[in-house]
Structure 1
Amino acid sequence: MEKKQKKSGNKFIILDLFFYAAIPYVLWKFGRDPFGDYIAMLISTIPGFIYTVYRFLREKQFNITGLFVIASLLLGTLVDLLSGSAERMLWNGVYLGMFYVIVHFIALTVKRPFALYFAVDFAYLQGHDRKESTKLFYEKGIFIWFQLIQLLFIVRGLFMAGLKVYLLKKYGVDGFDQMLIYRQIASWIFGALITGMFFYTNVLIQKFVNLQLKRERESSIHRGIQELTDK
């Protein structure tokens, strides 16, 4: 099973590189002369859009996770289409990224981290009840880790926006190809950190559940002995 998951993970890394960086890079490079910067940039987003929808359907991401993915995809596409120029499209991408940072920060502040609800959706796909999972994930010692993952979402958003601003100011629209590569590398790094934190949180959850089961068994045994004693 572990080998199969590793193979699947490597497959998606290659597909991510292909659809989010390689194909957009080629479309950008060869589309600028015949179509202009803005149209070429719009065209370069199509493979990533199609691939994201494919991943969404394949991994059956529904509810909070699915709504977040689809809403982000539609909003990003709408902003791109309304930008009107290549440079404006890139700057609007920065502003949109900061908007997501604010949304994540609000979720962190009101103690409703998206990370927790993403985990609830995943647990539901594994056959666990949503209410039970939500209650469990809010337990002391577990909830703090979902808050930390939420904080990492914010750090990722700030870093990606900062990287884009730096490349925009240094290279302008001509640096779009470098943005594709650098942002994909940064995306992988943050993706690995976030995934690692989710795995660690899952370990804590398993320990917590096992401890609860142990306590319940001990309590049941104690009650059984007490009943025999009373008789």
Structure 2
Amino acid sequence: MNNKNRVWFDLLFYIVIPYLIWNQGKDIVGDYYAILLSTAPAFFYTIFTFVKERQFNVTGLFLVFTLLLRTIVDLLSGNAETMLMNQVYFMVVLGVFLIITIFVNKPLALYFFVDTAYLMGYKREDSRKLFHEKDIFPMFKWLTILFAARYIALAIVKFWLLQKYGVEGYGTMIVFRQGITWAFSLVIGIGTYIVFKKIQEKTGFGDAADASMDKK
């Protein structure tokens, strides 16, 4: 799936279909079940994407685990307003979890990079050793802060919209959520590029000339 197609599929499964399910379903099955059903397309799309791309690693496990956990929270919520508030709490918890990984010197962004390097043909142990070097390691902490900030920002905006519009504002939440996600994805992408260039300048990591290095 190329980047252009990915954007259209993201729009379809993260905004268009969920919004249609919510908008058309709330009067039929009620707010709670309409919101619950609207989360299904994104859930299955994300699972399919990671299975298709064979990302059975820290990155894939983190995203799949958070999806499953959020689904469990949604199912146990009981009503629409409680579900939305629980989602706010859930995102705050994820943000705090990411911050904790920084304080225990295991920033999650580093393991995301290890997974990427592995797909490029680099051994995990070699990548971990390289990424822990003192002039590179702090950059992964900053990247992890960006990931945490994304969850916190999503939680704040959802809470604000919920207080302002109530459950009826869920359609607006869908659009805002994806907009914030894309905005942070852009910033994180820039940060990732800076980190990659720093590593590449120091070690030649990722150069075509290294294609023959030890594989996986």
TM-based fold match above 0.5: yes
Query: 2:201 pairs with 183, 190, 207, which one?
Result: 207
Are 1:194 and 2:178 an aligned pair?
no
CA distance in 1 between counterparts of 2:123 and 2:152 reads: 34
Query: 1:27 — aligned with what?
Result: 21
Consecutive unaligned residues of structure 2, counting only runs of 5 or more, are 206-216
Alignment counterpart, residue 68 of structure 1, candidates 43, 62, 70? 62
Counterparts of 1:1-80 in structure 2, within 5 Å, are 8-80=2-74
Amino acid in structure 1 at the alignment position of 2:131:
F
Match of 1:104 among 98, 101, 112: 98
CA distance in 2, matches of 1:68, 1:176: 26
Distance (whole Å) between structure 2 residues aligned to residue 78 and residue 63 of structure 1: 22
1:62 and 1:121 in contact (8 A); partners too: no
Count of equivalent residues: 205
In 2: Cα distance, 1:42 partner to 1:127 partner: 40
Alignment deviations for residues 93-117 of structure 1 (CA, whole Å, 9 cap, x no partner): 0010011011111101111011000
Q: Which 5+ residue runs of structure 1 have no aligned equivalent?
A: 1-6, 212-231
Instruction: Point out the structure with the larger helix share.
Output: 1
SS in 1 for 2:133: coil
Partner of 2:39: helix, strand, or coil? helix
Ranges of 4+ aligned residues in structure 1 off by more than 6 Å: none
Indicate the residue corresponding to 1:129 in structure 2. 123
Greater mean deviation of Cα atoms: 89-98 or 8-17: 8-17
Q: Which of the pair has more CA radius of gyration?
A: 1
SS in 2 for 1:176: helix
After TM superposition, the score normalised by the length of structure 2 is: 0.92
TM-score, L = length of structure 1:
0.86
Structure 2 equivalent of residue 92 of structure 1: 86
Matched, 1:168 2:162: yes
Aligned position for 1:3: none
RMSD of aligned residue pairs (Cα, Å): 1.3
